[in-house]
Amino acid sequence: MSVQHDPVQRADFDQVMVPNYAPAAFIPVRGAGSRVWDQSGRELIDFAGGIAVNVLGHAHPALVKALTEQAGNLWHVSNVFTNEPALRLAKKLIDATFADRVFFCNSGAEANEAAFKLARRVAFDKFGEDKHEIIAATNSFHGRTLFTVSVGGQPKYSDGFGPKIQGISHIPYNDIEALKAAVSDKTCAVVLEPIQGEGGVLPADLAYLQAARELCDKHNALLVFDEVQSGMGRSGELFAYMHYDVTPDILSSAKSLGGGFPIGAMLTTSELAKHLAVGTHGTTYGGNPLACAVGEAVIDTINTPEVLAGVKTKHQRFKTKLEQIGQQYGVFSEVRGLGLLIGAVLSDAWKGKAKAILDAAAVEGVMVLQASPDVVRFAPSLVVEDADIDEGLARFERAVATLANA
C-alpha cells in the first residue's frame, strides 16, 4: 500500500526553498533506466544523469537490491564504530586503484576538503608551516565549502563571502610553462581535474599531467586529482588517471560513486594517510552503511571490461551524431570529452546560448546540462541503451532546429 502524500507543485519551491537554485518548471517523480517521468506523466530521456551522478540510470536493480537489503539491517552507527559495507567498499576501491587507504564522507566537496586538509597536514608535519601553498587551475570546480570554492578557480563562486582562505593560486589549465613558474618548494599540492567538468568538459593534455607529476616529485608536493565528476567509469576507465597513466597521491571521488545515493571518498596511500591521526578530521555520516552498500553495488556493476568498453563505444555514438548536428545547424565548434562526459562547444554564432538549448531540449523531452554558458554537457548513464541515445539525440536535434529557425 503506497503512502498518501500532500500534493505539491513547482510553485511551492518559490515559497519554501532558499532561492539559490532555479529548477525547471516540471517536477520529475519517477525514473527507470534512462527515462524519467514528471508529475503530468510526460516522459523524458535523461542525458544529464543528475549532473554525472546517476551512473547506472534510475532504479537500477542491483542498486535497489543493495539499498533495500541494507535498509532492513543497519542504517547508521557513526564512526565510533565501523561497519561491514564500509569495509567491503573500501577494500574494493583499494584493490582497483593506486590507493591503500580510504576516507568516506558525503559529497565531492567533503572529499576535496579532506584531500586539501591532508595535503596541508602532510606538508606541515614534514616541512613546517611555510609549505602550505596550493596551486590550482583557473575555471576549476572543487565544491562549495569555503575551502573548496577558494581552491576552485572561479571567482563567481568564491566572491562575496568574506576573506578567502590564503595560500592558493590559480594558473591556466593545460599550460605547462605556467605550472612550472608557479610550483616551488613552498607548494604543498597541485590540484587538478583530469577533465574539467564545470569549466567546460575540457580534458587535460597528457603532457600537462605528466609535467604536474614531475614537478610535484621535484618539489616534494602532492598531486591531487579531483575525480568527483570524471571517476567511476565515466571516462571509459574506472578513474580518468588510468586513461592517462599518471598516478596522483590523493584522489577524490563522489557523484557516480553512489549512483544517486550521497557518498564521497578520498583515496590515498598509507604513508600519507598516517598524517590524519585519530581526531584530526571526521564526518558524522561518512561510511554510512546504506551509502556504502549502494557504492559496493555500483563498483561491482561498473568495474567490468564489458561496461567500461561500452562507455567508449557509446561515446563515439554520441560524438558522431553531435558533430553531425553541429555541422548541419552551425551550432558546435567542437565536441570534446572522454567516455560519457561530453561537451559540445558552441560556435561563435551560438555563444552564450547553452541555457536556451537546455530549456528547448527539455521541451522536446530530453534532459541535458550546461558547463558554462558556451558548452552543452552530456553525462548520461554508462549503460544507456543505444536506442535511448538515438531517440534522445533525435529530440535534441529537434530542439536545436527549433532555435535555429526561430
Does pLDDT of 254 surpass 60? yes
Residue 97 marked ligand-binding: no
- Please state the φ and ψ torsions of residue 122, each to the nearest 5 degrees: -60, -45
Task: Identify the CA nearest to 56 among candidates 324, 399, 329, 381.
Answer: 381
In the DSSP assignment, the letter for residue 72 is: T
Residue 119 is predicted with a pLDDT of 98
For residues 366-374, give the mean pLDDT. Answer: 96
Give the DSSP H/E element, type plus range, for residue 108: helix 108-127
Residue 388 marked ligand-binding: no
pLDDT confidence of 45, banded at 50, 70, 90? very high
* pTM listed for this prediction: 0.96
Residue 29 marked ligand-binding: no
Task: Identify the CA nearest to 254 among candidates 307, 305, 199, 291.
Answer: 291
Residue 53 is predicted with a pLDDT of 98
Residue 283 marked ligand-binding: yes
- CA 132/CA 31 separation, integer angstroms: 45
Task: Identify the CA nearest to 312 among candidates 289, 342, 286.
Answer: 342
Q: Give pLDDT tens digits for 216-253.
A: 999 999 999 999 999 999 999 999 999 999 999 999 99
For residues 173-201, give the mean pLDDT. Answer: 97
Q: What CATH number matches the domain at 11-59+305-405, 3.90.1150.10, 3.10.20.310, 3.40.640.10, 3.30.1450.10? A: 3.90.1150.10
Three cell numbers written together for 81: 564504530
- CA 129/CA 150 separation, integer angstroms: 19
Instruction: Give the β-pairing of 375-378 and 168-171.
Output: unpaired
Residue 109 marked ligand-binding: yes
Domain 74-303 classification at class level: alpha beta
- CA 341/CA 311 separation, integer angstroms: 10
Tell me how far CA of residue 28 lies from CA of 19, 43, 46, in angstroms.
19, 9, 11
Does pLDDT of 3 surpass 90? no
Q: Give pLDDT tens digits for 60-78.
A: 999 999 999 999 999 999 9
Q: Give pLDDT tens digits for 84-111.
A: 999 999 999 999 999 999 999 999 999 9
pLDDT confidence of 2, banded at 50, 70, 90? low
Q: How far is CA 242 from the centre of its chain?
A: 16
Does residue 143 contact residue 152 with C-beta atoms inside 8 Å? Answer: yes
**Percent of the chain, pLDDT > 70?**
100
Work out the mean pLDDT of the chain and round it to a whole number.
Answer: 97
Instruction: Give the β-pairing of 187-192 and 222-226.
Output: parallel
Name 77's Cβ contacts closer than 8 Å, sequence gap at least 6. Answer: 83, 289
Calculate the dihedral angle through the C-alpha atoms of 170, 174, 176, 180, rounding to the nearest 10 degrees: 20
Instruction: Show me where the domains of the chain are located.
Output: 11-59+305-405, 74-303
pLDDT confidence of 205, banded at 50, 70, 90? very high
pLDDT confidence of 1, banded at 50, 70, 90? low
Residue 4 is predicted with a pLDDT of 81
pLDDT confidence of 6, banded at 50, 70, 90? confident
Q: Give pLDDT tens digits for 264-313.
A: 999 999 999 999 999 999 999 999 999 999 999 999 999 999 999 999 99
For residues 320-347, give the mean pLDDT. Answer: 98
* Strands (E) located in 111-215: 133-137, 168-171, 187-192, 195-196, 202-203
